[in-house]
Amino acid sequence: MKFSELQDKQVVNVQDGTLIGRVEDLDVSLTNYQVQSFLVGRNTGLLRSLFAFLFPPARIIVCLDQVVSVGEDVILIHPRTKSGKGKE
């Protein structure tokens, strides 16, 4: 799968259906050239978008072990719990 096919896909929490954001970038291992995680841009309001120079980008890291499925339009994930582990 190419990055262009993943870029801008919506990332959705499989537990409650909330939209987390869109895939902006990938973290790739330089030793084995495999994708380690997705960088997901959080949904932000209009004011944050207009004044992006004042606010750092709101991004989260989604590890591959959180991914439930990659569909044509959306990527479903299990969110991390406070302990740092995804739901089994």
Class of domain 3-77: mainly beta
Nearest alpha-carbon partner for 84 in 61, 58, 68, 53: 61
Euclidean distance between CA atoms 78 and 56, whole angstroms: 25
pTM score of the predicted model: 0.72
Give pLDDT tens digits for 3-50. Answer: 888 888 999 999 999 998 999 999 999 999 898 999 998 766 666 666
Q: Which amino acid is at 49?
A: S
Start-end of H helices in 1-88: 3-6, 46-50
